Amino acid sequence: NADVMQNPRHLVRRRGQEARLRCSPMKGHSHVYWYRQLPEEGLKFMVYLQKENIIDESGMPKERFSAEFPKEGPSILRIQQVVRGDSAAYFCASSPFGGDPIPPFGPGTRLTVL
Amino acid sequence: QKEVEQDPGPLSVPEGAIVSLNCTYSNSAFQYFMWYRQYSRKGPELLMYTYSSGNKEDGRFTAQVDKSSKYISLFIRDSQPSDSATYLCAMSDENAGNNRKLIWGLGTSLAVNP
């Protein structure tokens, strides 16, 4: 896999539903960053994970948001009981090692909450 | 005060013009400086990456970092309509260990008119 993959590319949820966003890193990459891009607010760091470990979740909202990166499979960003303010583009980036300053980004998932 | 300030524009220039894009920052620990290009509804794409101070040139693009003034610039020579996009500056802190989470500017919207 030459690129960072994210799916779905577009996700529509009603208020109160759950949203699951998936990020498949490039082959051999074991570190993932998640970012959120809100209208008029720019990109903001959410969480940094290594396989099976959360390294930095300082940018995650305290409630309803969680992230994981299991030993096998993609990284998952989970948003429970979505609200309209969660509507945004969510991007992930992956790197093969810690300290890589320029991890490539995926194409993003655009979440719309009705 | 935001850690990274960037004028959102929009900036409109004729084809062939030299474009200057800028960001200022407040955290003196930032050592990695990046410029990304983002087309509408796409993920950020790395354009230029500079470590610490100095200039870097790649084709029509030149990145400059002035750490004494906490000011970074991106110059685009001979601008083309295909350069029309949003340009985002991003930075990371060398003191954060292996955590290379990026702090972003808001992005400057650029339109190059044929």
Report the chain A residue with the minimal C-alpha distance to residue B31: A101
Q: Which residues of A touch B107 (CB under 8 A)?
A: 42
The average pLDDT across A79-102 equals: 92
Nearest to B113 by CA among B14, B10, B9: B14
Q: Do A101 and B32 touch (CB under 8 A)?
A: yes
The residues in A 74-103 lying below 8 A from B, measured between CB atoms, are 89, 91, 95, 97-103
Give the mean pLDDT of chain B.
93
pLDDT, position A55? 94
Separation in Å, CA of A17 to nearest CA in chain B: 24
Nearest to A84 by CA among A19, A1, A9: A19
Q: Does A38 touch chain B (CB under 8 A)?
A: no
Separation in Å, CA of B52 to nearest CA in chain A: 12
pLDDT, position A100? 82
| Per-residue model confidence as pLDDT tens digits over B9-27 | 899 999 999 999 999 999 9
| pLDDT over 80 (residue A79) | yes
d(CA B48, CA B63): 7
Nearest to A59 by CA among A40, A77, A82, A80: A77
Q: Which residues of B touch A105 (CB under 8 A)?
A: 43-45
The average pLDDT across B47-55 equals: 90
| Per-residue model confidence as pLDDT tens digits over B90-114 | 999 877 778 889 999 999 999 999 9
